[in-house]
């Protein structure tokens, strides 16, 4: 069957805004960025084609270690988000009915009515040396001097998990909602216990939600800038902060661009490896 | 009522389940003997699923006791009860293959790999799907899925299998076929079945015993023949099998029967049935089975009968040996459903023909109208 001219025109008009958006905002800047990343400044205002920027990432330990640290902490944050979000989602999707259910689901959304920057400053007010927690601890008698709870990895982790929660809860609630209660009951009826029913029936059913939630949370965490930098301070050693430094502080756009592409490539590689290890496919997850 | 002894595989004693002020199951007692095909038959919403869920352990009775092989199981969780349930929507596990579905319960029991493989294979053979073990559930037809759902329970050799309207999701033709199939499977696995349905033909065809349920109570327990020929209540008479029905007031009641006059002024003779006594002035419902009515073209043939009506043939509902004639009473305009014998006598019967109907007083059962029920 061939499409009529008018149908084809209609299709084109429908797709046009998406295409413009894709090309103008994604393809063009990235293509330019890619070219920038592949050149080296040999003299003022003279550039040459070179892979030196990419080589620098692998030869300078600070850079690749920062990336490895970022990736590992992102994976840990993703795992922690999943562990906390799963019971919460199960409770919302399967235990609650009616208005309470929608209310709790909405409650997960509330933190996102405040911008990430303001939210993170909120954490800082709570956790800094002269902050609320520090004062409460001293008042209760748990500590006899001000406690600094900012600028360490645990705090970064808490901030990242908090920021990511919603992106895990939404896909999980959606998939768990579609799980028939009778499946769980059949699991018990045929001799399963809480653990085997979870492993054999609930988790396999929720797998598409788990995978898509994990991918989104991992990518968001890896690419997060505000939370690690504000809560972790100068020593947060987050890879996006490194990119920022190259572009803004060092004015080394070539290296910054190369880092940007490495972030993209390496994170895609990690997601791909994660899917392989858990034997999931993207098509299954999405469709 | 079946007598209460310890020889029952499954027994409920004075079972009550309330949801708030609403009584879903109201003082239900019954016992299911070993190897029985026991059905609970009742309209939608009468509390059948609630009873089954309490037996399976998914719901707790407000009061009363449930016994399996003579022992109370109220404190036993569902995964430890020796009964298994076939769910209304089957609840097969879509992420597992057919064989894995059947093996699920055996694996949970901790059986050895080879033993499980043997049992799964023999179960697949018995349900006629010997080569379908590796297929996914979605590749099976509705009837095949049905059989897998039942086999998945029966490989565990439960004391009783609980089935919640398992044929409800199938189309009519398959349903007829599965009735026979289910009965065969019960024989093959020699297991006690407790089957709930709102379809009286399913219950009558397959069961050894049927309990008729209405609004949370059991109206009557008995063999299908008992329920059909000797209903205890008006509800059973109306719900089990087809009936012609009249409503009227008792004009005379004595040892030979009752004389009832309907609002249309028709006088009918009937036999009192049910527990509540009938007395002059009381309201009653009269039930007459279509096959109890004699149909004739000549008035003399029915002249000796206790009840007689003349009418006009409205239509013939041909269905082989189960054909029916729909007849309009010429006096009152009421419609009657009458069995149409396929004997040739009526082969020339045409719409609008005048016919004569008659039936004996013994075939008409009069029940006191509800409200006076104990
Ligand atoms: N969990 C529950 N909460 C409140 N009411 C319920 C619950 N489960 C069942 N009911 C009510 O109990 C009655 C019987 O339900 P059910 O046993 O499912 O009927 P059936 O299986 O005979 O169609 C229905 O009126 C239903 O609304
Ligand atoms: Mg039901």
- Partner-chain residue, chosen from B77, B87, B156, that has the shortest CB–CB distance to A186: B87
Picking from B352, B367, B362, the residue whose alpha carbon sits closest to that of residue B245 is: B367
Mean pLDDT of chain B: 90
Q: Among B19, B25, B61, B85, say which to mutate for ligand 1: greatest number of ligand atoms within 8 Å of CB.
A: B19
DSSP-H helix ranges across chain B: 48-56, 98-108, 113-126, 142-154, 172-189, 200-206, 224-229, 234-239
pLDDT, position A260: 93
Check CB contact of A191 with chain B, cutoff 8 Å.
yes
Which tokens belong to A153?
């990895």
pLDDT, position A83: 97
Q: Is the beta carbon of B366 within 6 A of some atom in ligand 1?
A: no
Check CB contact of B221 with chain A, cutoff 8 Å.
no
Please state the domain count of chain A.
1
Whether the CB-CB separation of B163 and B193 falls below 8 Å is answered with: yes
Cβ pair A190:B56 closer than 8 A: no
Cβ pair A189:B104 closer than 8 A: no
Check CB contact of A179 with chain B, cutoff 8 Å.
no
Check CB contact of A186 with chain B, cutoff 8 Å.
yes
pLDDT digits (tens, 9 = 90+) for A146-194: 888 889 899 999 999 999 999 999 999 999 999 999 999 999 999 999 9
pLDDT, position A21: 87
Question: What DSSP designation does A233 have?
Answer: G
pLDDT digits (tens, 9 = 90+) for A58-77: 999 999 999 999 999 999 99
pLDDT, position B221: 96
pLDDT digits (tens, 9 = 90+) for B19-47: 999 999 999 999 999 999 999 999 999 99
pLDDT, position B274: 83
Q: Please, which residues have CB within 8 angstroms of residue B127's CB and are 6 or more apart in sequence?
A: B147, B148, B150, B151, B185
Round the CA-based radius of gyration of chain A to a whole number and report it. Answer: 24
Cβ pair A204:B95 closer than 8 A: yes
Check CB contact of B89 with chain A, cutoff 8 Å.
yes
Q: Is the beta carbon of B45 within 6 A of some atom in ligand 1?
A: yes
Q: Could you tell me how many CB contacts below 8 A there are between chain A and chain B?
A: 55
Element of type H or E holding B335: strand B335-339
Provide the shortest C-alpha distance from residue A214 to chain B (in Å).
21
pLDDT digits (tens, 9 = 90+) for B194-245: 999 999 999 999 999 999 999 999 999 999 999 999 999 999 999 998 999 9
Picking from B150, B157, B158, the residue whose alpha carbon sits closest to that of residue B102 is: B150
Ligand with an atom nearest the CA of residue B165: 2
- Partner-chain residue, chosen from B56, B85, B93, that has the shortest CB–CB distance to A201: B93
Confidence band of A2 (pLDDT split at 50, 70, 90): low
pLDDT, position A281: 75
pLDDT, position B6: 57
pLDDT digits (tens, 9 = 90+) for B159-205: 999 999 988 878 888 888 889 888 988 888 889 999 999 999 999 99
pLDDT, position B246: 92
Q: What's the whole-number mean pLDDT along residues B325-334? A: 89
Give the Cα separation of A192 and A201 in Å (integer): 10
Q: Please, which residues have CB within 8 angstroms of residue A112's CB and are 6 or more apart in sequence?
A: A166
- Tell me the three state secondary structure of residue A262: helix
Check CB contact of A235 with chain B, cutoff 8 Å.
no
pLDDT, position B373: 41
Q: Which domain holds residue A163?
A: 61-286
Give the Cα separation of B353 and A104 in Å (integer): 70
Dihedral class, residue A224 (left if φ above 0, else alpha if ψ from -120 to 50, else beta): beta
CATH of residue A166's domain is 1.10.3720.10
Q: Please, which residues have CB within 8 angstroms of residue B94's CB and are 6 or more apart in sequence?
A: B136, B137, B138
Cβ pair B109:A191 closer than 8 A: yes
Whether the CB-CB separation of A172 and A209 falls below 8 Å is answered with: yes
Chain B CB contacts of A188 under 8 Å are: 77-79
Ligand with an atom nearest the CA of residue B43: 1
pLDDT, position A286: 59
CATH code at B8-235 = 3.40.50.300
Pairing assessment for the beta strands B354-359 and B267-272 based on DSSP bridges: unpaired
Pick the residue with more confidence: B193 or B369? B193
pLDDT, position B2: 47
Q: Is the beta carbon of B41 within 6 A of some atom in ligand 1?
A: no
CATH 2.40.50.100 positions along chain B are 242-368
Position of tokens 């004391």?
A: B159
Q: Please, which residues have CB within 8 angstroms of residue B180's CB and are 6 or more apart in sequence?
A: none
Highest mean pLDDT among A148-162, A188-202, B3-17, B327-341 belongs to: A188-202
Whether the CB-CB separation of A123 and A132 falls below 8 Å is answered with: no
pLDDT digits (tens, 9 = 90+) for A232-286: 988 789 999 999 999 999 889 999 999 999 999 999 999 999 999 888 877 666 5
Residue A184 lies in a domain: yes
Range of weakest confidence among A43-47, A95-99, B96-100: A43-47
Pick the residue with more confidence: A268 or A6? A268
Q: Is the beta carbon of B48 within 6 A of some atom in ligand 1?
A: yes
Q: pTM of the entire structure?
A: 0.82
Q: Is the beta carbon of B43 within 6 A of some atom in ligand 1?
A: no
Please classify residue B333 by burial: count the beta carbons closer than 10 Å to its beta carbon, then call 0-12 exposed, 13-18 middle and 19+ buried.
exposed
Provide the shortest C-alpha distance from residue B199 to chain A (in Å).
22
pLDDT, position B330: 86
Test the A interface: residue of B91, B106, B157 with most A CBs within 10 Å: B91
Q: What's the whole-number mean pLDDT along residues B245-270? A: 89
Chain B CB contacts of A280 under 8 Å are: none
Q: For chain A, how far is it from start to end, CA to CA, in angstroms? A: 26
Residue A30 lies in a domain: no
Query: Is the pLDDT assigned to residue B5 strictly greater than 70?
Result: no
Please classify residue A16 by burial: count the beta carbons closer than 10 Å to its beta carbon, then call 0-12 exposed, 13-18 middle and 19+ buried.
exposed
Mean pLDDT of chain A: 90
Residue A9 lies in a domain: no
CB atoms within 10 A of CB A284: 12
Residue A12 lies in a domain: no
Residue A8 lies in a domain: no
Check CB contact of B156 with chain A, cutoff 8 Å.
yes
Cβ pair A182:B104 closer than 8 A: no
Query: Is the pLDDT assigned to residue B145 strictly greater than 60?
Result: yes
Asked: is B242-368 a CATH 3.40.640.10 domain? The reply is no
Residue A132 lies in a domain: yes
Provide the shortest C-alpha distance from residue B54 to chain A (in Å).
12
Query: Is the pLDDT assigned to residue B374 strictly greater than 60?
Result: no
pLDDT, position A71: 95
Whether the CB-CB separation of B148 and B105 falls below 8 Å is answered with: no
CB atoms within 10 A of CB A133: 15
pLDDT, position B32: 95
């Amino acid at each position: 069957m061939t499409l009529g001219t008018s149908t084809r025109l209609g299709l084109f008009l429908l797709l046009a805004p998406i295409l413009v958006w894709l090309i103008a905002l994604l393809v063009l800047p990235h293509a330019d960025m890619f070219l920038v990343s592949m050149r080296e400044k040999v003299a003022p205002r003279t550039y040459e084609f070179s892979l030196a920027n990419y080589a620098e990432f692998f030869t300078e330990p600070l850079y690749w270690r920062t990336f490895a640290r970022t990736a590992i902490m992102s994976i840990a944050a993703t795992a922690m988000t999943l562990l906390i979000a799963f019971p919460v989602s199960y409770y919302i999707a399967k235990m609650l009915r009616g208005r309470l259910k929608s209310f709790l689901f909405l409650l997960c959304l509330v933190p996102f009515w405040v911008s990430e920057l303001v939210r993170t400053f909120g954490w800082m007010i709570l956790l800094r040396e002269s902050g609320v927690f520090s004062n409460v601890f001293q008042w209760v008698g748990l500590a006899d001097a001000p406690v600094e709870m900012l600028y360490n990895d645990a705090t970064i982790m808490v901030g990242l998990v908090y920021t990511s929660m919603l992106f895990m809860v939404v896909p999980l609630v959606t998939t768990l909602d579609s799980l028939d209660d009778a499946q769980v009951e059949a699991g018990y009826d045929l001799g399963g216990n809480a653990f085997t029913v979870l492993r054999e029936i609930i988790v396999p059913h929720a797998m598409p939600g788990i995978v898509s939630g994990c991918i989104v949370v991992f990518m968001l965490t890896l690419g997060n800038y505000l939370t690690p930098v504000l809560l972790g301070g100068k020593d947060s050693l987050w890879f996006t902060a490194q990119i920022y430094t190259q572009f803004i502080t060092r004015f080394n756009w070539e290296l910054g661009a190369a880092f940007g592409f490495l972030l993209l490539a390496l994170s895609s590689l990690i997601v791909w490896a994660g899917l392989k290890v858990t034997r999931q496919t993207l098509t299954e997850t999405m469709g | 009522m079946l007598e209460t002894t310890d020889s029952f595989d499954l027994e409920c004693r004075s079972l009550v389940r309330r949801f708030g002020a609403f009584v879903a199951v109201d003082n239900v007692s019954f016992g299911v003997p070993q190897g029985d095909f026991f059905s609970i038959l009742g309209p939608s919403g009468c509390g059948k699923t609630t009873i089954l869920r309490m037996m399976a352990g998914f719901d707790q009775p407000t009061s009363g006791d449930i016994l399996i092989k003579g022992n109370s199981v109220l404190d036993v969780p569902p995964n430890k009860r020796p009964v298994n349930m076939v769910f209304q929507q089957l609840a097969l596990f879509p992420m597992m293959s057919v064989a894995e579905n059947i093996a699920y319960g055996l694996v949970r029991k901790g059986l050895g790999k080879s033993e499980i493989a043997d049992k799964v294979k023999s179960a697949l053979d018995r349900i006629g799907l010997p080569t379908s073990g590796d297929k996914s559930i979605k590749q099976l037809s509705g009837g095949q899925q049905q059989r897998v759902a039942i086999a998945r329970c029966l490989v565990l050799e439960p004391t009783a299998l609980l089935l919640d309207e398992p044929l409800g999701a199938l189309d009519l033709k398959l349903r007829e076929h599965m009735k026979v199939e289910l009965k065969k499977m019960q024989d093959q696995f020699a297991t006690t079945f407790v089957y709930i349905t709102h379809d009286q033909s399913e219950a009558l065809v397959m069961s050894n015993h049927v309990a008729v349920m209405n609004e949370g109570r059991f109206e009557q327990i008995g063999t299908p023949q008992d329920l059909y020929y000797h209903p205890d209540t008006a509800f059973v008479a109306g719900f089990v099998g087809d009936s012609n029905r009249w409503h009227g007031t008792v004009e005379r009641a004595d040892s030979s029967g009752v004389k009832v006059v309907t609002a249309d002024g028709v006088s009918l003779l009937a036999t009192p049935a049910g527990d509540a006594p009938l007395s002059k002035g009381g309201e009653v419902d009269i039930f007459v089975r279509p096959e109890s009515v004699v149909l004739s073209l000549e008035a003399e043939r029915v002249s000796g009968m206790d009840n007689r009506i003349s009418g006009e043939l409205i239509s013939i509902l041909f269905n082989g040996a189960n054909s029916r004639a729909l007849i309009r009473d010429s006096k009152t305009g009421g419609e009657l459903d009458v069995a149409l014998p396929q004997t040739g006598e009526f082969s020339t019967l045409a719409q609008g023909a005048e016919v004569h109907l008659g039936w004996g007083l013994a075939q008409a059962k009069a029940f006191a109208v509800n409200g006076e029920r104990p």
